[in-house]
Amino acid sequence: MEIKVMKNIMDANGRLAEVNRALFRERNLAAVNVMGSPGAGKTSILIKVMGLLRNKIGFCVIEGDIASDIDAQLIDGMGISVVQINTGGGCHLDANMINSVIDRQKSFKNSILFIENVGNLVCPSSFDLGENCKMVVASVPEGHDKPYKYISMFETADIIVLNKIDLIPYVGFDRPYFYKGLSAVNGKAPVFEISCRTGEGLDSLAGWMQDKMADLIISRSVLVRTEGMR
């Protein structure tokens, strides 16, 4: 009985994720589902990347947390459109939550949309939000064994960010072991090593976002204009 209920939930989520995908195309949004553990540095990374690119491309953000709007306030302080979703105990965002935001936030368009998921390495990987890109953030203090323990999270990633590399000398992080685990579950996703504290690697990460996500927005915009002239 539980298996049937779970299948119904996932099927319903998948159908609504397709609706979201169509909405993202209509609004010319490149959606990035940002996942990782609590404290991995998801919000810090978004703030740094948006700071580097905000004069080149538009941004909007959906912040997912169990409670509070602490991270949303930080982003709002940058003058970037942000909406908070509090799950009230739920361990992930789902397609319905995202749909309700996109439906009412008409200003969310022609931008990279960062969807910061609830801090969790398990549930978020199973719920399609309609995103164009899944970004998984790992951090050095969490340890080098995460790709072995949370296979689903890392194997579905389109991009992987290893944050807080400035701490490697102090916490015994085994870089070769970490990469061996990654290659076993996902040998295709690019990996960016960064430090939000020192700034190392952030330019490369921002460059990837500009090349992949911003170009998607531009190509969609050109397509819309071209179709409109027919």
- DSSP assignment string, 68-114: --HHHHHHHTTT-EEEEEE-TT-SS--HHHHHHHHHH-TT--SEEEE
Q: Which pLDDT value is given to residue 5?
A: 56
Structure tokens at 91: 């361990």
Q: Is residue 230 part of a domain?
A: no
- Confidence at 87, pLDDT banded by 50, 70, 90: very high
Q: Which residue is associated with the tokens 């330019």?
A: 203
Q: Is residue 202 part of a domain?
A: yes
| HSE toward the beta carbon, residue 20, CA cutoff 13 A | 27
Q: Which pLDDT value is given to residue 188?
A: 96
Give the distance from CA 229 to its chain's centroid: 34
157 CB-contact burial (10 Å; exposed 0-12 / middle 13-18 / buried 19+): buried
Q: Which pLDDT value is given to residue 132?
A: 98
Q: Which pLDDT value is given to residue 225?
A: 47
Q: Which pLDDT value is given to residue 7?
A: 76
Nearest C-alpha neighbor of 152 from the set 6, 30, 35? 35
Mean pLDDT score of the chain: 94
Averaged over 111-138, what is the pLDDT? 97
Handedness of CA 111, 116, 121, 122 (dihedral sign): negative
pLDDT at residue 6 is higher than 70? no
Averaged over 24-29, what is the pLDDT? 97
Q: Which pLDDT value is given to residue 4?
A: 55
Is residue 147 within 8 Å of residue 178, measured between CB atoms?
yes
- pLDDT tens profile 175-216: 999 999 999 999 999 999 999 999 999 999 999 999 999 999
Percent over 70 (pLDDT), the chain: 93
Is residue 87 within 8 Å of residue 64, measured between CB atoms?
yes
Contacts of 226 (CB under 8 A, 6+ apart): none
- Domain around 147: 2-225
Is residue 130 within 8 Å of residue 17, measured between CB atoms?
yes
Give the distance from CA 128 to its chain's centroid: 12
Q: Is residue 107 part of a domain?
A: yes
Paired strand residues for 113: 31, 60
Averaged over 120-125, what is the pLDDT? 96
pLDDT at residue 230 is higher than 60? no
Q: Which pLDDT value is given to residue 223?
A: 53
- Global pTM? 0.94
Q: Which pLDDT value is given to residue 93?
A: 98
Q: Residue 118: which CATH number?
A: 3.40.50.300
Three-state DSSP class for residue 25 = helix
pLDDT at residue 229 is higher than 80? no
- pLDDT tens profile 75-85: 999 999 999 99
Q: Which pLDDT value is given to residue 3?
A: 53
Structure tokens at 200: 């190392």
Q: Which pLDDT value is given to residue 8?
A: 81
Q: How many domains does the chain have?
A: 1
